Amino acid sequence: MLNLTENASTIVKDIADQGGPETAGLRISSDDSSEQAFAVSAATAAEPGDQVVEQDGATIFLDESAAQQLDDKVLDAAVDQQGGVQFALAQQA
């Protein structure tokens, strides 16, 4: 299952807290193409078939394809100097 770093958990919570309900989080989806590309968006709740990852108060919703592709990954996040969020994936140790 996808794990989150402490930075990622904090940033995901901050994004979800911006006017969303308590059930809000980030949704990661994949288009099943040969290249691993993911779309990340704020979501108020899981969609049917989503895997829900809750860690340190942060909630991530993964569509079925993304859940399979990210099963052995760690999600990290950082905020750049312009205030943009950058996400990165790494293999679980």
Tell me the domain boundaries of the chain.
Answer: 3-31+38-91
Between the alpha carbon of residue 9 and those of residues 2, 33, 48, 76, 93, the distances in Å are 12, 27, 23, 8, 18
Q: What SS3 class is residue 68?
A: helix
Q: Which two tokens stand for residue 47?
A: 């969609």
pLDDT in tens, 14-70: 988 886 788 899 999 997 665 678 999 999 999 999 999 999 999 999 999 999 999
Q: Which two tokens stand for residue 50?
A: 């989503």
Q: Which fold has domain 3-31+38-91?
A: Hypothetical Protein Aq_1857; Chain: A; (2.60.300)
Query: Which residues partner with 29 through β-bridges?
Result: 39
pLDDT in tens, 62-92: 999 999 999 999 999 999 999 899 999 999 9
